[in-house]
Amino acid sequence: MPYDINETHDPKLESWVESANDPETDFPIQNLPWCVYFIEESLDFEPIGGLGVRLGESVVAIEPLIEAHLLDGVRAGDVSLLDFGTLPEFQALGSTLHRTLRARLVELLTADNTELRGNRGLRNAALLPIDQLLTLPLAPFPNYTDFYASLHHATNVGSMFRPDNPILPNYKHIPIGYHGRASSIVPSGTPIRRPVGQQAPAEEGGTPGFGPCKLLDYELELGVIVGRGNELGVPISMEDVEDHIFGMCILNDWSARDMQKWEYQPLGPFLAKSFASTVSSYIVTMEALAPFRTPAFERAASDPQPLPYLDSKYNRTHGGVDITVEAYLTSADMRKRSMAPVQLSKGSFKDMYWTIGQMLAHHASNGCNMQPGDLLGSGTISGPKRENRGCLLELTWDGDPMATPPIAAPGTQRTPIKLPTGEERKFLADGDEIILKAYCERDGFRRIGFGECRGIIEPARR
C-alpha cells in the first residue's frame, strides 16, 4: 500500500512542544503539514524564511536541522534529503523519502527525545513561534486545473442551468475539469477584489451588461498538490498514481456566477473563475492522511464502472479521503459587532464521485506532463443534504433535484441566508469574509486539521 499506518500515527504520541498536545489543535505531532515561513519583522529588510512544518503554535524550520546534521539519515536508495535545492525538487523526492523524513521529524519532536530539545541554540533557531511568522503555501504553483468531482454539486448546478439535462452523458465516465489560472492563486488572508465582466443580457437577444459582478460566490474545495511529475508523453497509471501526490490543502475557487452563466458554453469557465483562487497556508501530506482513507464513492448499480485506466484495487478500497470541510461567513457589520461567524455548510470529501487518484491519472492519461507543485482543485464539495452544499449558488437555491418532478429547477427561486445582524445574503456582499476549514477525525486516531482559508471581498475597482 502506498501510504500505510505506522508508528507516526500513534494517537498516544505527544511532543515536547506543549502546544502540539492541545486536543483542539489542528497541528499535533501526527500532522506536520508543510509551509513556507517568513519571519515577520524581517520582511521590511532582507526577508528571512524557509521551508518548515507546523507543530502546535510553532513552525519547525527544516534548514537548521539539516545544517546540524540531524537529518543526515533521511535517504531513499541513492537519494538524500540533501539533494533538493528548490521547492519543486523537494516535492518531487517521492513518497519513500517523504515517509522517512516524516518518521525522523516525529522522532526528533517526540516528548522524550532530547536531540533537538536539549540543544538550546539549535532549538531557538529551529522552533519559531507562529505569532512572529507569516506562513504561506508551497508556491508558486506551476499549473492549476480545477475538477468537478462531486456528483451532488454537478446535479444541483446542472438542474439550475439545464433543468432538462442536468448531468451530461460523459460525467460518469470522465473526471470533468478545466485548465485554471495559476497566476491568480493567492494565499489565505489576501483580500479578493470583486471582478468586473460581461454578464448575460436581461432578456434573450438583448445586449449583455459589463460591470461589477452581482452574483459573487465562493466554492468550498480541497486542492491536491502533485509530488513527482511524469515525462511528457508518459501517462501515470492508477498503480503508481498515489506516489505522485504530495499532499492536500484547502481551496476557495471564487466564482462570478453572472459572468459564468453567460460565458460557460461552449468551452467552459473562463473569466468567471480566473480573477482569484485562495489556498490555505499548509499542505497536509498524504502520509499524515493515511488513517483517514476510505473506499472510493460507491456508485449506483445503474452507473457505469470506471474504465480500466481509472481503476485499481487500491483505489476501490482506499481511494477516498474522509476530510470534513466547513464554510463560514462574517459580514463587515458582524465583525464590527464582534459576532461569531455563521456556518454556511459542512460536508465530507468522501462524498466525491471521483477520487484524487482518478483525477490525476485522468489528467496525465493523454501524456500531459504533470509538474511537481501543480495544483488540482477537487471541484465544489457538496453532499446529499442541503447543509452539505458547498457554495451559495446551491445553498440559497430552493430546488431539490432528487424530488420528482424536480423543485424549482430553473433556479429562479432563492431563499436568502439570514445573518444575526438582520442582513440577508443570496450572494456575497462587499466586506463579507469567507472562512473555510477542513479536518480529519476517526476513532482510535488523533484529530488533524488543515488550518483555515480566508478571504474578504473588496469593492470592484472603479
Supply the DSSP symbol for 308: G
Q: Which stretch binds Ca ion (CB under 5 A): 65-73, 248-256, 383-391, 448-456?
A: 248-256
The question of whether 173 is a catalytic residue gets the answer: no
- Report DSSP letters for 211-268, one per residue: EE-SSEE--EEEEEEE-S---TT----TTTGGGGEEEEEEEE--EEHHHHHHH-TTT-
Question: Given the rule CB under 5 A, which of 119-127, 211-219, 242-250, 284-292 is the region that contacts Ca ion?
Answer: 211-219
Query: Which of 26, 253, 287, 326 forms a contact with Ca ion (CB under 5 A)?
Result: 253
Candidate ranges 128-136, 167-175, 219-227, 421-429; the one touching Ca ion (CB under 5 A)? 219-227
- Ramachandran angles phi, psi of 153, nearest 5°: -65, -45
154/361 with CB nearer Ca ion: 154
CB of 436 to Ca ion, least distance (A): 13
C-alpha cell at 117: 530539545
Interface region with Ca ion, contact rule CB under 5 A, candidates 140-148, 240-248, 258-266, 326-334: 140-148
- Read off the C-alpha cell for 39: 519571519
Choose, by CB under 5 A, the member of 26, 146, 374, 452 that binds Ca ion. Answer: 146
By C-beta, is 219 or 326 nearer to Ca ion? Answer: 219
Rounded least distance, CB 220 to Ca ion, Å? 9
Per the CB < 8 A criterion, the answer to whether 234 and 214 are in contact is: no
**Cβ proximity to Ca ion, 146 vs 351, nearer residue:** 146
Strand 245-252 vs strand 277-279: parallel, antiparallel, or unpaired? antiparallel
C-alpha cell at 25: 489543535
Spatial CA neighbour of 380 closest among 225, 162, 154 = 154
CB of 391 to Ca ion, least distance (A): 8
What is the smallest separation between the CB atom of 301 and Ca ion, expressed in angstroms?
29
Distance CA 71, CA 376 (A): 30
Beta-carbon contacts of residue 121 (< 8 Å; ≥ 6 apart): none
Residue, CB closest to Ca ion: 253
Tell me, by CB under 5 A, how many residues bind Ca ion: 3
* Catalytic residue (choose from 98, 153, 318, 363): 153
Q: Which is nearer to Ca ion, 153 or 293 (CB)?
A: 153
Minimum gap (Å) between residue 28 Cβ and Ca ion: 30
Which lies closer to Ca ion via its Cβ, residue 34 or residue 254? 254
Residue nearer to Ca ion on the CB measure, 135 or 252: 252
Residue pair 28/119 in contact by the 8 Å Cβ criterion: no
DSSP 3-state assignment of 1? coil
Q: Which residues contact 450 (CB under 8 A, 6 or more apart)?
A: 26, 33, 248, 249, 250, 280, 282, 284, 323, 437, 438, 439
User: In the bound complex, what is the minimum distance in angstroms from residue 267's beta carbon to Ca ion?
Assistant: 16
Q: CA-based angle 61:62:64, to the nearest 5? A: 85
Grid coordinates 442551468 are at which residue? 161
Q: Under rule CB under 5 A, which residues in 420-439 are in contact with Ca ion?
A: none
- The grid coordinates of residue 437 equal 476549514
Of the candidates 327, 326, 316, 325, the one whose C-alpha atom is nearest the C-alpha of residue 293 is 316
Binding part of the chain for Ca ion, among 48-56, 139-147, 172-180, 185-193 by CB under 5 A, reads 139-147
Residue 219 engages Ca ion in binding (rule: CB under 5 A): yes
**What does the binding site for Ca ion look like in residue numbers (CB under 5 A)?**
146, 219, 253
Which residues are known to be catalytic?
Answer: 153
